[in-house]
Amino acid sequence: MSSNSPSQHKRYRGVILTPVGWRKLEQAEKESGQHFTKEQIRDRTGLSIQTISRIRKRKVGVDQDSLECYVKAFGLELTDEDYTHVRQENQRQDWGDAPNVSVFYDRCEEMAQLQQWILAENCRLVALLGMGGIGKTALATKFARDFKTEFEIIVWRSLQNAPTIEELLGNVLQSIMQMLQEDPVVPTSLNGKLSKLMEYFRDKRCLLILDNAETILSAGGGAGNCMAKHEGYSQLFKRIGEVSHQSCLLVTSREKPKDIVALEGEEKKVRSLQLGGLKPEDGRKLFQDRGQFTGTDAEWIRLIEHYGGNPFALKMVAAGIQQLFDGSIAEVLEYIGQGVLVFNDIRDLLDRQFSRLSPVEQEVMLWLAINREPVSVKELKQDVVSVTSKQQLPQALYSLLRRSLIEKAGKQFSLQPVVKEYVTERLVKQVCQEIVSCRERTESYSPIALLQTHALIKASAKDYIQETQKRLIVQPLLEQLLIELGSQQKLVQRLKDLLEQQRH
Ligand SMILES: Nc1ncnc2c1ncn2[C@@H]1O[C@H](COP(=O)(O)OP(=O)(O)OP(=O)(O)O)[C@@H](O)[C@H]1O
Ligand SMILES: [Mg+2]
């Protein structure tokens, strides 16, 4: 491919400050102890108010001399890392099934981080990670749409239906070839396809977005491994992460692919960004489109924090509150306080994530729910039952963190409130089912042992567990037991005694 063909010609629309340049300016202004208005800057620099606004907004380019003049007013010199070129909008884009992101709140810090990595540092591979519904797709799309002029080629593809690597690359290459009006001759071998993609990645500034990469990762057995049939994706990540080029692959995933773990580092051009929830004030904005809600500031904060600021969960909850509680936040909080409100859509989402866990990971989740408060590895080790689980505990925790299902603060691990509720619900159901099925078995089997393994006793012994939570875990089980084991009075009595003992 000729390097000076018309399609390669880069026309620039001026320059904008990078996040690094912007931070330097902020720092300089802070150190001067004065906040300058646009008019004051105009008087100092002779720049027009419009140019000053553009420089500050950092969306539209200005000419380099103006930017130099602006930073000089703050006693700074413009260095290469402080600015970046804005390219002419002559690029080619294929947005596939990318969602509409016209309504998008917050995420300023995450956007600045992506700008820094992808635009300023030219990172080759960036992973956006986080639990289902936290906003990975929305953020990746918003970034690509806002900075589309930075790239000559943009291709957005969902991996939702787990295409094989051959299918995916064939499809992406065809799209690029069409955009470039080249003959759509896609190489047949995987290696040929990878090499062709790398050729475009070297030649042009491309942004390839692959959404929902967790679908190609195997369930169970530790998070992040590509499924055997999708191992070609490992090669894709490696080639893009390791080989020199001017493009970027932006991946979103609920689980962190192991290949990315192996490639990333400060010195390397591979990074990952873990997304947390929205801030309460921004989470609240999600409710605005859905009608009238009543609640105090404190109630709003409690509600949004309960759902970990997860925008998907908040949207579901907003709909639920409208339908069931006439928009009253206080009423919903009452239910939440009893630990009994998991909306169906959120349950579905968590069901899907939970079903991908290995047995040890599921056990750890149960224990984190039972403990209710953050716990250390040491404490968890005392909780989990089998020797194998004990041995696999660090690995399981690591895996759960990579799946964005648990949280770590210092040395302690915990679950977000809504996940905790969900897991508690599962625990109750599971124990009840096991009691029923053990009744059905003819061999002598002690439900007491079963309950011990499920920590019923520990749960009831914790004084700080709310009464409602105790009821939620203990009462249904006892009731179930009484029904199921009605004829075995001795057994029921023993269970009650055990619970009593633990309480004192
Ligand atoms: N910053 C935001 N402002 C407004 N709405 C948002 C924001 N982030 C996400 N949303 C909305 O929340 C919902 C979930 O977001 P999104 O689909 O991006 O989550 P996700 O992390 O990609 O989830 P999954 O893992 O299921 O793919 C979407 O309806 C999206 O439009
Ligand atoms: Mg998504």
Q: Which two tokens stand for residue 10?
A: 């880069």
Answer whether 118 contacts ligand 1 (Cβ < 6 A).
Answer: no
Q: What is the pLDDT of residues 108-130, one digit of tens each?
A: 999 999 999 999 999 999 999 98
| Domain at 352-503: CATH architecture | Orthogonal Bundle (1.10)
Q: Give the pLDDT confidence score for residue 87 in this predicted structure.
A: 61
Q: What is the pLDDT of residues 434-452, one digit of tens each?
A: 655 655 554 444 444 444 4
Q: What is the whole-number distance in angstroms between the Cα of residue 405 and the centre of ligand 1?
A: 16
Q: Give the pLDDT confidence score for residue 338 in this predicted structure.
A: 61
User: Cα(99)–Cα(209) distance, rounded to whole angstroms?
Assistant: 13
**Residue range(s) occupied by CATH 3.40.50.300 in the chain:** 93-274
Compare 310 and 156 and report the one with higher pLDDT: 156
Give the nearest ligand 1 atom to 253 CA. 25
Answer whether 330 contacts ligand 1 (Cβ < 6 A).
Answer: no
Q: What is the CA radius of gyration of the chain?
A: 27
Q: Which of 107, 284, 312 to mutate to test the pocket of ligand 1 (most atoms within 8 A of CB)?
A: 312
Q: Which ligand is nearest to the CA of 346?
A: 1
Q: Which ligand is nearest to the CA of 349?
A: 1
Q: Which ligand is nearest to the CA of 312?
A: 1
Over 50: is that where the pLDDT of 302 sits? yes
3-state secondary structure of 374: coil
Domain range 93-274, its CATH number among 3.90.1150.10, 3.40.50.300, 3.30.70.580, 2.60.200.30: 3.40.50.300
* Count of alpha carbons within 13 angstroms of residue 409, beta-carbon side: 6
Buried residues in 174-192 as b, exposed as e (16+ CB within 10 A)? ebbbebbeeeeebeeebee
Answer whether 302 contacts ligand 1 (Cβ < 6 A).
Answer: no
Q: Give the pLDDT confidence score for residue 306 in this predicted structure.
A: 84
**Residue range(s) occupied by CATH 1.10.10 in the chain:** 352-503
3-state secondary structure of 443: coil
| Domain at 6-85: CATH architecture | Orthogonal Bundle (1.10)
Distances (CA, A) of 208 to 173, 255, 350, 415: 11, 19, 28, 33
Q: Which two tokens stand for residue 4?
A: 């000076």
Q: Give the pLDDT confidence score for residue 472 in this predicted structure.
A: 47
Q: What is the pLDDT of residues 476-485, one digit of tens each?
A: 555 555 444 4
Give the nearest ligand 1 atom to 104 CA. 3
Over 60: is that where the pLDDT of 502 sits? no
Over 60: is that where the pLDDT of 468 sits? no
Q: Which two tokens stand for residue 71?
A: 């930073």
Q: What is the pLDDT of residues 198-237, one digit of tens each?
A: 999 999 999 999 999 988 887 765 667 777 788 899 999 9
Closest to 383 measured CA to CA, from 395, 401, 400, 369: 369
Answer whether 233 contacts ligand 1 (Cβ < 6 A).
Answer: no
Q: Give the pLDDT confidence score for residue 90 in this predicted structure.
A: 54
Q: Give the pLDDT confidence score for residue 274 in this predicted structure.
A: 92
The model's pTM: 0.68
Ligand 1, atom 24, lies closest to the CA of: 132
- Token look-up 């008019």 returns 39
Q: What is the pLDDT of residues 153-167, one digit of tens each?
A: 999 999 988 899 999
Beta strands at 407-409 and 248-253: parallel, antiparallel or unpaired:
unpaired
Give the nearest ligand 1 atom to 140 CA. 18
**Residue range(s) occupied by CATH 1.10.260 in the chain:** 6-85
User: Cα(399)–Cα(408) distance, rounded to whole angstroms?
Assistant: 12
* Mean pLDDT (the chain, rounded): 80
Q: What proportion of the chain, given as a percentage, has pLDDT over 90? A: 31
Compare 4 and 132 and report the one with higher pLDDT: 132
Ligand 1, atom 5, lies closest to the CA of: 104
Closest to 413 measured CA to CA, from 393, 390, 429: 393
Over 80: is that where the pLDDT of 364 sits? yes
Q: What is the whole-number distance in angstroms between the Cα of residue 105 and the centre of ligand 2?
A: 16
Q: What is the whole-number distance in angstroms between the Cα of residue 206 and the centre of ligand 2?
A: 21
pLDDT bin (cut points 50, 70, 90) of residue 342 is low
* Count of alpha carbons within 13 angstroms of residue 73, beta-carbon side: 22
Answer whether 399 contacts ligand 1 (Cβ < 6 A).
Answer: no
Lowest mean pLDDT among 68-77, 108-117, 119-128, 337-346: 337-346
Q: What is the whole-number distance in angstroms between the Cα of residue 211 and the centre of ligand 2?
A: 6
Compare 276 and 453 and report the one with higher pLDDT: 276
Closest to 44 measured CA to CA, from 87, 74, 20, 2: 74
Compare 384 and 39 and report the one with higher pLDDT: 39
Give the nearest ligand 1 atom to 212 CA. 27
Over 80: is that where the pLDDT of 149 sits? yes
Write the CB contacts of 87 (distance below 8 Å, at least 6 apart in sequence).
Answer: 10, 11, 12, 13, 149, 150, 151, 152, 205
Give the nearest ligand 1 atom to 105 CA. 3
Over 50: is that where the pLDDT of 2 sits? no
Q: What is the whole-number distance in angstroms between the Cα of residue 314 and the centre of ligand 1?
A: 10
